[in-house]
Structure 1
């Protein structure tokens, strides 16, 4: 298993003094070195994640784009579908999403093939994005009268995947449970939930799990809640440690060992039209997201080996 903390062979003496900061730097150096030699396989069926949490501000879009970029760096062919009308995922991936461009809105409402709206991110030829535009804000109302309104994204995505081999699809959806989010749940095979390591972290999670069960029962029996990622973690606070322990206690198999720390670099990157993976790939936030991507991939490999 790929853990957030790697045993360090780097002596803190190299940094001149044995202090908490020196130990952190030594640990980060060891983790960077460990990532340099990592190899993972993406040889199973396409994994389709929807990133969801009905609580806002927990890092949904940040997690979507950085996990996607890290997986692309590992060699996976990754498609990000920006289903949030704000279009923040499109911005972070450096993909144009002005109102005059075709977008995921046209796929959902006008049956435009997904392949016609997908763009390649400047970050990597392996990283693709179906952008959002402001038109998506009205899609909730327009979808109401559409035939098979809950399945429109799933149909479009299946058509796309039949002609464009893709290892991972990541759907970034809005925090509310409307028809856009239901389309994301119906199209996905897995749910990834980012949980902020702060007070009220579990607020609304029981409702989200209830919604997932409802989707499983009525629309998508193949949907599983496979991954929980702890975000905005501050190891200096007792609260963050308590939240992490509580979440792991409730979901011991779903929570990744990797945690994402609070990081200025992670916050800065989108303003430059980049993920933190390309903005500052050696920063602690980038290292953590790369570790998370490795752990997600390796868990799938382990599960496939167990089945066979």
Structure 2
């Protein structure tokens, strides 16, 4: 995912001017490569961009952060762009000064792949292909759970940092993550409160009591849950303040959101709490009567849940991520595109709705 950006693209990503980017680079001391041939223009790496965003937040107080939040991105059915939205939000939040940890809870590991980590790659294969060991997924969220029978790891040994220290931090997934759901199910059968295990772990991390699982440095923790009602998803929802649910406006059915609403109602009955629902309209086609009616239904059935900001149908915003292309998420690959601007507007709206920023 080595990608170089010109100063104009960086200014667009950071929502500032070219002159401000140049000035802040000089003030921060961040080293940016220059083009070797022709004009000696700066060529920003993605690491450079996130470093600059963090510097601006620390020295210019660009974003006033009101509180820390835990959220789960979840849709009861596939094909709604959930993973693509999760990958882009995970990048856009740090660009706005929000320190973000994203946790891939889907053993199919599509989000992990979106950040350049092949969950099926072994250390031996990486050596044969001359790839860095960093590209190999050796641990996942299960390795952080107390009592994990295959060896517990410290948070710092599990996290991946695809764009450096100041970009999104990722807890990757692979096929063996499915074992966690099996363990949680066995615990439940034995009468243990397995559904609250993830919530307890996260709260312990936020308190800073456990140095091996210290979450105090993050402003936002984001779970990317599988489109299934399993124990891991339920645990993530119980740990979360909000659930962000993308819906496809092309093939919208009230059944998916109605099902999710019933799941949240059951949680309130069982444990006395559930995350607040936030709905993001995806694959939106303006001025189509069917879409307008669907938006109206969502607004009436779930007042306050539907974001005003939507993501329109676009060839730049595919439903699935291509394994063929070694590209970062869309907001970084094509930062000046209309789709990227819409994703940025959705990210801002979510941060405001969740109370992370004013």
Q: Same fold (TM over 0.5)?
A: yes
1:172 matched to 2:224: yes
List, as ranges, runs of 4+ consecutive aligned residues in structure 1 with deviation greater than 6 Å: none
Corresponding residue for residue 3 of structure 1:
none
CA distance in 2, matches of 1:278, 1:34: 11
1:197–1:243 CA contact under 8 A, matched in 2: yes
TM-score normalized by the length of structure 1: 0.78
1:284 matches 2:338: yes
Aligned mate of 2:311, from 260, 263, 278? 260
Structure 1 distance, partners of 2:276, 2:115, is 25
- Structure 2 residue 64 is the aligned partner of structure 1 residue 55: no
Match of 1:218? 270
Give secondary structure in 2 for the equivalent of 1:203: helix
Displacement after TM superposition at 1:96 (Å):
5.1
SS in 1 for 2:268: helix
Pair member with larger Rg: 2
Task: Provide the C-alpha distance between the structure 1 equivalents of 2:82 and 2:272, rounded to a whole number of angstroms.
Answer: 22
Distance 2:334 2:242 in 1: 29
**Structure 2: which 5+ residue stretches go unaligned?**
1-11, 18-60, 123-136, 209-213
Match of 1:11 in 2: none
Aligned to 1:73: 95
Tell me the matched-pair count. Answer: 271
Q: Name the residue aligned to 1:8.
A: none
Structure 1 segment 183-202 matched on structure 2, within 5 A? 183-202=235-254
Summarize the alignment of residues 142-181 of structure 1 with structure 2, pairs less than 5 Å apart. Answer: 142-146=183-187, 147-161=192-206, 162=208, 163=214, 164-181=216-233
1:213-238 CA-to-partner distances (Å, cap 9, x unmatched) read: 222332362x3324211011122533
CA spacing shift, 1:304–1:73, aligned 2, 3 Å: closer
Gap regions ≥5 residues in structure 1: 1-31
TM-aligned CA deviation for residue 115 of structure 1 = 3.8
The answer on 1:134 being equivalent to 2:171 is no
TM-score when scaled to structure 2? 0.68
Please tell me whether residue 101 in structure 1 is matched to residue 138 in structure 2.
yes
Q: RMSD of the TM alignment (CA)? A: 2.8
Cα 1:201–1:281 shift into 2, 3 Å: farther
Shift of 1:43: 2.0
1:45 corresponds in structure 2 to 67
2:218 partner SS? coil
